[in-house]
Amino acid sequence: QVSVLYFARSAELAGLRSETLSVPRQITSLQLWEEIVKVHPRLAVIRDQVVFAVQQEYVLLGDQLLVLQPGDEVAIIPPISGG
């Protein structure tokens, strides 16, 4: 189980700021995103703009293999608009 944190637009789309999800221990970043989108389908609209941070390390969506430990923190960071 990992702790998923949602920020800005991802929090709006998911309807919450954090939750705990059960995911495989070894998973690619893209598969992890797909698991999260299964729970919150509305997040699919930000797929091309989203960045993950796993244990505060940025991860791009793709086939990078992640080895997650129970309690790891996964942050969903959508694009931040400046002004």
Band the pLDDT of 81: cuts 50, 70, 90: low
Please state the pTM of the whole predicted model: 0.89
For 69, which DSSP code? -
For 49, which DSSP code? T
Q: For 67, what's the count of Cα atoms within 13 Å in the CB-facing half-sphere?
A: 0
Residues found in the chain? 83
Is it the case that residue 79 has pLDDT exceeding 90?
A: no
Report pLDDT digits (tens) over 18-40: 999 999 999 999 999 999 999 99
Q: Which pLDDT value is given to residue 50?
A: 87
